[in-house]
Amino acid sequence: MTGNFLFLKYEDMKKNLRSVVSDVAAFLETSLDKAAVDSIAESCTFNSLKAAWGSSDDGLKKHLCRKGVIGDWKTMFTPEQNEAYDAKHKLRLEGTGLEFDFD
């Protein structure tokens, strides 16, 4: 959390979704009991969202969810594209304090 901003990273959600749900509640200055955190976390898992979006009438939602795997996007790039992305990523985030774990 940074002031009025809460940065959420998919990688953190994949590692510990319940913790991220609790972080969001704290950011919103509300409290949730364990049952509420568990219910929200279960509703927000990749598989739950993919199932819900897969039955949506919205064509974009049907195709938005792929595998739900951290770093899988790198399999879509050539080695040169990966290097270019990594260089741009490093340049744009330098000094922000944000760090990402793509593996």
pLDDT on residue 65: 67
Domain hosting 24: range is: 1-65
pLDDT tens sequence across 49-98: 888 777 777 777 666 666 777 777 778 889 899 889 889 988 998 888 88
pLDDT tens sequence across 31-53: 999 999 999 999 999 888 888 77
pLDDT on residue 102: 65
Measure the CA–CA gap between 60 and 56, rounded to whole angstroms: 9
User: Looking at the structure, do residues 12 and 57 belong to the same domain, yes or no?
Assistant: yes
Looking at per-residue pLDDT, the higher value among 101 and 12 belongs to: 12
User: Looking at the structure, do residues 44 and 81 belong to the same domain, yes or no?
Assistant: no
The total of other beta-carbon atoms located within 10 Å of residue 21's CB is: 21
* E strand or H helix at 81: helix 79-93
pLDDT on residue 58: 74
User: Looking at the structure, do residues 7 and 56 belong to the same domain, yes or no?
Assistant: yes
27-63 burial, b if ≥16 CB within 10 A, otherwise e?
eeeeebeeeebeebbeeeebeeebeeeeeeeeeeeee
